[in-house]
Amino acid sequence: MYNIGIIGAGKVGVSLGRYLSGLEYTNLVGYYSRSLDSSAYAAKVTNSGKFTNIEKLVEKSNVILITTPDDKISQVWSTISKFSIQNKIVCHCSGSLSSEIFFDISSKGASGCSMHPILAISSKENSYKDLASAFFTLEGQDEAIEFFSKVLDSKGNKYKVLSSREKTKYHISSVFISNLIIAMGSISIKLLGDYNFSQEEALTALKSLAIGNMNKLFAIGPQDALTGPVERNDLGTVERHLKALDHDHYDNIEKIYRLLSLELVDLAREKNCDRDYSRLENLLLKGPNPQVRD
């Protein structure tokens, strides 16, 4: 039997505790948190224990899941590495950090890994339900990977094993599709705001377009989903866009427009091998009335 103890009783810790417990070979021992109220709530909703002493939780567990914020993981490891952790599995749930943060773990006879669900966990009450459809990534030492692979196989989740050096770019990928999409949505709302759209009106107006494009992206991939002036090689429209953004109020937005459109040029070239996008590319690089690059 694998006894799982969780350090950190926030949204991630509670959601994963609710989701990962209940298998025939796992038992959720309970939670340790700096907030007694948080650990008490987590213990209650998962029918597990509340620990006020971190060493006691480590002692009772042979799998230790660290679900604290990223900047606290090293501190937690520094604490628990002083205890007896031989033959234990230690795992954190950061998307950006690798298991290398568990320095000297092999010398202590333990095995370390990271496990990250590609999912925005926003609620202690409901996010555990969304974990059933989440894609996970694993990274770390063989014994720890083997255990969590077995757990995810049992739960029916798809997952991929990464190397330690891949974690940062992996996390950047998640940020682009998640956080930076929000930034682009904010830009769209700002631009419509200049024409007296309220935020509510802007969101209503943009919703069908945004959702439709995202659905196409995931249904057929970025190349086949691509439409618009860049894909059409429409220099006139792109030049008008750049002129409209050509003042200080839109300085950052213009830069973002140019850079993202250049990425679309690369995608459009793959889609339309018979079209010459060099003039459009130079327009985006140099502004109106461009000259072809050397």
pLDDT digits (tens, 9 = 90+) for 271-281: 999 999 999 99
pLDDT at residue 294 greater than cutoff 80: no
Q: What is the pLDDT of residue 21?
A: 81
pLDDT at residue 43 greater than cutoff 80: yes
Of the three residues 100, 133, 163, the one that is the final residue of a domain is: 163
Spell out a b/e string for 23-33, using b for 16 or more CB atoms within 10 Å of the CB, else e.
Answer: eeebbbbbbbb
Of the three residues 104, 128, 163, the one that is the final residue of a domain is: 163
Of the three residues 137, 163, 189, the one that is the final residue of a domain is: 163
In a domain, 169, yes or no: no
DSSP symbols for 237-258 = HHHHHHHHT-SGGGHHHHHHHH
Any idea which residue has 């987590």 for tokens? Answer: 42
Q: Model pTM?
A: 0.86
Domain of 211 in residue numbering reads as 177-286
CB under 8 Å to 89, separation ≥6 — which residues? 2, 62, 63, 64, 110, 111, 112, 113, 143, 144, 147
Looking at the fold, whether 157 and 188 belong to one and the same domain comes out as no
Summarize the confidence of residues 69-80 as an average pLDDT. Answer: 96
| Interatomic CA distance for residues 261 and 7, integer angstroms | 44
CB under 8 Å to 197, separation ≥6 — which residues? 189, 205
pLDDT at residue 262 greater than cutoff 60: yes
In a domain, 51, yes or no: yes
Question: Which has more pLDDT, 254 or 293?
Answer: 254
pLDDT digits (tens, 9 = 90+) for 211-254: 999 999 999 999 999 999 999 999 999 999 999 999 888 999 99
In a domain, 61, yes or no: yes
- The identity of residue 237, as a single letter, is T
